[in-house]
Structure 1
């Protein structure tokens, strides 16, 4: 009886690809790191050998010509109702186009989870770690041992452990308070999460409002991230107030959308009887009717600044500055 020959389960090695293509292992290594520096005919043979053998390179192997991992870790707290979509999409698209892969990690809101993800990224010897989360003193000490580039985005800490690309959340709060006061609103309600940067915007808003008015700000806290589903409870609480607010400042555009839906269902006209302001300039802000007044952050610019810093770092060039302020702008639309 004929013996069945089982296909080999051994993963092909760099040497196997080189033998199949008829070149040296150094040539294959150069091709993997930068295909353009290898002669076109040689590149065709190497590429064919890789496809035939289904070879997957070990990018951390010492046999490769470069010590780069060609990988960047991006840490975000959540995907649902994320304010970071535009930043992440632009960053991934441009990094991938340059031959760098992106490892996306979800940290939640716990500081311990963020530190664990940073440790995991460091263990994989990524070229850079991009974090959207505030960094604790313990995590800062850990980052000092990271040979790659550490980038905080959507924030401008006074002393970033690496570099920071973002804006001032306190300044956003100040500007929102001035914006609604100058438009004649006098009874604001502020609805936001109590954690991290939302808290900074809250503090800035309250400080800014107190500079213009003696009327206290009505505050309602929601879980992070603030989202559409919070609106029903928030609106019910607003209606129980002895005096209804004339403007609601929300921690996100999705929450602002929910407040508008609830107001319409209750027969209130937005903005005549209740004005609404969001944050983030999500697509829903311009698609909603009425369109939502909001704060725009140029997420694509943040991504471009990060990508430029990563490219400089892997080329051995130190960053020109540790903090890059991309600013923000308030977009006045129909809801306020």
Structure 2
């Protein structure tokens, strides 16, 4: 009869010893830097759990490949492109290259990509968001390399985090719109099944509206992600048919916001006189359109640069701090003429 007892993993040892899986991997390599006290704690934890290091996997993982694996939802999104640019430039000083895969906003595709990327033995892996399938999370926990979750603040991080609160980004916009006297506010976008960060922005919208005592049910989906300008325009048209007295709309992205703006112009709705429009992402188009669209800058480039620095620190022999870390950025609200009259 087969035993039902689970075979302990590297992640189990890491939790038992209070360190990261990467530190456990290092502790089992005699030539890798781990201070004596930490190594003894890890070996003791492994003995208590009955964990045995796979010598073949250890040998493979000790070889330097010179690249960092990265997954992003879309290759044609300027925000994620800026993050990759920051990451690439930040890693250049150490001669590390980026190996990129895109998930199409699909968690199952992320799982497939992570499995494929890990077979190539990257020195670190950067993923977008803090939500993963169970199998994907298990692979990341047991990878034995630095794992950086970005563009989010997960409640249960795997290793390191460089991100921001998507919910708070929407809350900032809602509070701004209410300060201008608008209370009949709608949200456009935020697919519930695929775009987890967009859904968090929608959640931030509804929570803040409810906290302020206003109706939070004016929700119009558009998609699937990434939402185009055309889809933003179509969604805004549906929104106005259902709630014609709407005074303002918070859009899941600047592209959706630009679509809403062009639909207002087609319908003869004055912006910001009769309708205020806000987006997310600080895209170039939101700054040069007429009127410019109020947006939130999540500091995409800095996310990449800070992720690169965290990877370099973790791969450096001089770095003894290998516990989970969170770098939380504060999104910046960019108030423009689409929500505030300049006359």
Aligned mates of 1:264, 1:331 — CA distance in 2: 22
Q: Normalized against structure 1, the TM-score is what?
A: 0.76
Give the superposition deviation at 1:287: 1.2
Alignment size in residue pairs: 273
Instruction: Check the 8 A contact 1:238/1:244 in 2, yes or no.
Output: no
Residue aligning to 1:199: 199
SS in 2 for 1:138: helix
1:242 to partner: Cα distance: 5.1
Closer, same or farther in 2 for the Cα pair 1:263/1:162, shift >3 Å? same
Within a 5 Å distance, the mapping from 1:23-172 to structure 2 comes to 67-133=63-129, 134-172=131-169
Q: Distance in 2 between matches of 1:109 and 1:305?
A: 23
Work out whether residues 166 and 302 of structure 1, in 8 Å CA contact, stay in contact via their aligned partners in 2.
yes
CA distance, structure 2, for counterparts of residue 75 and residue 183 of structure 1: 39
Secondary structure of residue in 1 paired with 2:242? coil
Structure 2 partner of 1:251: 252
- Cα distance in 1 for residues equivalent to 2:106 and 2:216: 31
| CA deviation after TM superposition for structure 1 residue 201, in Å | 1.4
Per-residue CA deviations over 1:282-336 (Å, capped at 9, x if unaligned) read: 1112111111101111112211211111111221324465111011121100101
Which residue in 1 is equivalent to 2:313?
312
Q: Note if 1:273 corresponds to 2:274.
A: yes
Question: Do the aligned partners of 2:248 and 2:276 also contact (CA within 8 Å) in 1?
Answer: yes
Deviation at 1:175, TM superposition (A): 2.3
- SS in structure 2 at match of 1:222: coil
User: Which string of whole-angstrom CA distances, capped at 9 and with x for unpartnered residues, describes residues 223-244 of structure 1?
Assistant: 2122212123213213313533
Q: Secondary structure at the match of 2:172?
A: helix
Question: TM-score under structure 2 normalisation?
Answer: 0.75
Aligned equivalent of 1:26: none
The structure whose Rg is larger is 1
1:118-155 CA-partner distances (Å, limit 9, x unpaired): 11111111011111142233322121221211111001
8 A Cα contact 1:257 1:292, kept in partner:
yes
| 1:174 has 2:177 as partner | no
Cα distance change of structure 1 residues 176 and 116 upon mapping to structure 2, 3 Å threshold: same
Q: Check the 8 A contact 2:158/2:324 in 1, yes or no.
A: no
- Counterpart CA distance in 2 for 1:238 and 1:222 is 10
SS in 2 for 1:226: coil
Give the secondary structure class of the aligned counterpart of 2:92: helix
What CA RMSD, in Å, does the superposition of the two structures yield over aligned residues? 2.0
- Gapped regions of structure 2 (runs ≥ 5): 1-58
Confirm or deny: 8 A CA contact 2:233 2:261 kept in the other structure.
no
Relative distance call for 1:284 and 1:242 in structure 2 (3 A) is: closer
Q: Any idea what the Cα deviations from partners look like across 1:44-70, whole Å, max 9, x if unmatched?
A: xxxxxxxxxxxxxxxxxx9xxx83211
| Structure 1 position 269, deviation (Å) | 1.5
C-alpha separation in 1, matches of 2:332 and 2:263: 27
Cα distance, 1:84 vs. partner?
A: 1.4
1:222 maps to which residue? 222
- Distance in 2, matches of 1:232 and 1:292, equals 15
